Amino acid sequence: MEPIRLTHASCSVPGKTLLHDLSVTLAGRRIGLIGRNGSGKTTLLRLVAGLVAPSAGTVRLGETDPFADRKAALRKIGILFQNPDHQILFPTVEEELAFGLTQLGQPQAQALALAKARLAAEGREDWTKRAVSTLSHGQKQWLCLQAILLMGPETLLLDEPFAALDLPTETRLRRQLARLPQRLITIAHRPDDLSDCDEVLWLEAGRLAGFGPPAQVLPAFIAEMTRLGAEDAPYPGPAAMLSLTSPVETPAHGWRAGPKLLALAGLTLGLFLPAPGWPALALALAVLAAAALTAGRWAILGAWLRLFRPLWPFALLLILWHGLTRTPLEGAVILLRMAAAMGAANLVTMTTRLADLQGLVLWLMRPLAPILPAKPLAIAIALMIRFVPVMADRAAQLAQAWAARSPRRPRARLMAPLALAALDDADRVAEALRARGGAL
């Protein structure tokens, strides 16, 4: 097996460095990865799998760059996500199993035949046309593992594979993993799960705290966790509890929801009033700059710009049309007006609490209270507004699930999985609301 080498590898997101200057060579057949929540374990797996690029340094599978050469990486490495709902892309079992094979060049008919053969070998022939939504958590995880194994990678990356499994399911999974010839790199929280590994890597706050045989690393890890457990956990502070799409505290977080939404409505109206080309272009540019500066720190800008991805198909069509009609200035004005309105809306969404949105919507709906269920509608509308960045994160998760099994860009192919995920998330949110007194 080829060694996995990280050389001064770091990984950052806006406002935070997740992994700091890691240099290590992984050569064992069974490798454990341990550390506290938020220490960077999952980020390290995604880095090794090539789902994210290092912000500094290099990652190599032998001589392969897993991020730059996706086609070669897929034959060398596969990753099992912690949550199978974040990994499954297709509505039926046979489609989910066949997808990775088609991405490796197998014809669709042959890929489906191999998927059916795998199910038959496991005594689950009746699963072929089964809807993935009918499977339990453990069954979904089994499906994800089989989909990866069908692609035949040399190394499997396992992100807490035993989490949320009942004891019989966990026992069966442990037995299956023990029989696999592939190299396994496994994230675990319990030191006992890694005692039989060849090597254990301990991460602490994104840094390498220990690496070596289990007998060397695990006692030191246990001693440190025991020491930390005897202390009271420090209060994380407001910045640590912000939305994933807003990684730093900004002045806009302290503004009241009413003025922010009124300003957004006035700005949107002003942007789309008829105006000559250059003034409108200047206005759009000014609004974009003001929104970025209002965020208070440039660290939020990357997360904010990420929410513009849904605009790119329309932007492409707009550019082509106005290029053909030789009206580039008019096209630029339209595009920047839309970007400015969407950017301002994103800023409001990212910096306003759900409870504040709900209260404002409820106040606006007071005249309709005698004829409409105002409170449930206010909750629903506030959730729809607040779910814009959440669905952007969901789209990013699905894009990584696609990249884990395909060298091609997903483009519009993710629309159907995203719609199914949105419906599933909506069901879970409705159930959570009912559990806590909501009226949806």
- Please give the structure tokens belonging to residue 211: 């690496």
Structure confidence at residue 383 as a pLDDT band (50, 70, 90): low
Question: Per-domain residue ranges for the chain?
Answer: 4-91+131-229, 241-435
Is it the case that residue 307 has pLDDT exceeding 70? no
- CATH number among 3.40.710.10, 3.40.50.300, 3.20.20.70, 3.40.50.800, domain 4-91+131-229: 3.40.50.300
138-168 pLDDT, tens digit per residue, is: 889 999 999 999 999 999 999 998 887 888 8
299-303, 313-317, 321-325: segment of lowest average pLDDT: 299-303
Which two structure tokens, joined as six digits, stand for 340? 């400015």
Buried b (16+ CB within 10 A) or exposed e, 347-362: bbbbbbeeebbbebbb
pLDDT of 309: 62
DSSP 291-360: HHHHTSSTHHHHHHHHTTGGGHHHHHHHHHHHHHTT-HHHHHHHHHHHHHHHHHHHHHHHTS-HHHHHHH
Q: What is this structure's pTM?
A: 0.70
Which two structure tokens, joined as six digits, stand for 215? 């007998």
Kindly state the percentage of the chain with pLDDT values over 90.
26
Residues 6+ positions from 272 with CB-CB distance below 8 Å: 337, 341
Distance CA 99, CA 85 (A): 16
Is 35 in contact with 203 (CB distance < 8 Å)?
yes
pLDDT of 162 reads 87
Average pLDDT rounded to a whole number, residues 358-378: 70
State the pLDDT at residue 241: 34
Please report which confidence band the pLDDT of residue 170 belongs to, taking 50, 70 and 90 as the band edges.
confident
Residue 156's pLDDT is 93
Q: Quote the pLDDT of residue 315.
A: 73
216's tokens: 């060397």
pLDDT tens figures, 221-254:
999 988 888 876 664 444 333 343 444 455 666 6
Residues of the chain with pLDDT > 70, as a percent, come to 68
pLDDT in tens, 96-118: 899 888 888 889 899 999 999 99
Does residue 440 carry a pLDDT above 50?
no
Lowest mean pLDDT among 88-97, 243-252, 334-343: 243-252
Other residues' Cβ atoms within 10 Å of the Cβ of residue 206: 22
**Residue 234 confidence (pLDDT):** 60
